[in-house]
A and B are shown apart, each in its own frame.
Chain A
Amino acid sequence: MNPKQLACVVLMMLIGAVVYGAQMVHQRVVGMRMELENAQADAKAAKDSLDTAEIELAMTKTRTQDLRRFLEAWIPHIDRIQTQQEVEEAVEVSLRERGISLVISRKSEVRASRDDLVLPKQVLTSLVVEDEYAKVLNWLGDLERRLPLTRVNVCRFTGGSSGTQLRVDISFATPLVNLDANVKPGGKKA
Chain B
Amino acid sequence: MTNPGYKRFRPRWHRERMPIFWWLGQFSYIKFISRELTSLAVAYTAVFLVVQFWALSQGREVYGRLLEFLRSPGALVFHVLVFAVLLFHTVTWLNLAPKALVLHLGGRRIPDRAVLAAHYLAWVAACAAVAWVLLGGS
Pair from one complex: no
A: which residues have CB within 8 A of B?
none
**Which B residues fall within an 8 A CB radius of A?**
none
